[in-house]
């Protein structure tokens, strides 16, 4: 269920240090060893990535610049950023159900992005774009303040050992950055199957002054600008069968 653990065992990151910035870097992911694409995936990657995909950093480690979403998507539409899309099961289903929204899927692993890219290509989904890299890099350098209608973070790695909690993505500094990038009325939707991480996310989100928790009645009435209805993945179904509770947490950017 955790996108960061879908590939080979991790090794230490070789990424260059980020430049100084007001949001201290959280090492939420580590680079995995190379996982080769299949022939079909590589063909699709070569054909579609130059148009639909970008890297958060260039070959020298310099961060990419701000995205002009209207130019990239070829239209002006509300934009959702999904951090840690994995193989994109939720991404493709939700993008198909919301064709009026544009989705930027962020993932560190090329294999997962290739699977989602291939699915989008086969199914003719024109409202998904792809970024390979760290979500904090993307938020800080590629997304303008007040530009997003939604941010989705589904099943981020819980880093369950206490000494690794500092690597969790949804820390106060990152949530503050997300809140800054949301438009007034924009939505942060997080989901986790780890009870301890759920408690931390809830505390951090509720402690962010720019965010207000959305009550379940409003969610049920579909009063939000983006849907909160996720498809259940096979990993999530396995977790439910094993007794893992899923916690959904939704906040709205204050006006």
Instruction: Check residue 150 and report its DSSP letter.
Output: E
* Helix, strand or coil, per DSSP, at residue 249: strand
Distances (CA, A) of 223 to 41, 169, 182: 38, 27, 17
10 Å Cβ neighbour count for 221?
8
Q: Which distant-in-sequence residues (6+ apart) come within 8 Å of 231 by Cβ?
A: 89, 90, 93, 94
Residues designated catalytic: 157
* Helix, strand or coil, per DSSP, at residue 54: strand
User: Is the alpha carbon torsion for 146, 254, 2, 129 positive or negative?
Assistant: negative
């Amino acid at each position: 269920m955790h996108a960061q653990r879908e590939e080979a065992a991790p090794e230490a990151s070789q990424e260059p240090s980020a430049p100084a910035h007001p949001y201290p870097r959280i090492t939420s992911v580590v680079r995995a060893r190379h996982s080769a694409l299949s022939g079909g995936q590589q063909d699709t990657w070569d054909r579609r990535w130059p148009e639909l995909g970008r890297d958060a950093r260039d070959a020298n480690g310099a961060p990419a610049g701000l995205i002009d979403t209207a130019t990239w998507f070829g239209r002006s539409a509300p934009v959702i950023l999904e951090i840690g899309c994995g193989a994109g099961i939720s991404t493709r289903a939700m993008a198909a159900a919301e064709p009026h929204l544009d989705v930027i899927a962020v993932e560190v692993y090329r294999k997962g992005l290739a699977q989602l890219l291939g699915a989008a290509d086969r199914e003719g989904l024109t409202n998904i774009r792809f970024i390979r890299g760290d979500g904090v890099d993307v938020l800080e350098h590629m997304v303008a303040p007040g530009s997003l209608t939604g941010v989705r973070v589904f099943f981020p790695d819980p880093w369950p050992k206490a000494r690794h909690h500092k690597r969790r993505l949804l820390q106060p500094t990152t949530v503050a950055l997300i809140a800054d990038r949301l438009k007034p009325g924009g939505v942060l939707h997080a989901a986790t199957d780890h009870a301890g991480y759920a408690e931390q996310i809830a505390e951090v989100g509720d402690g962010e002054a720019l965010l207000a928790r959305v009550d379940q009645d409003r969610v049920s009435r579909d009063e939000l600008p983006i849907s909160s209805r996720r498809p259940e993945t096979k990993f999530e179904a396995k977790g439910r069968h094993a007794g893992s509770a899923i916690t959904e947490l939704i906040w709205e950017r204050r006006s």
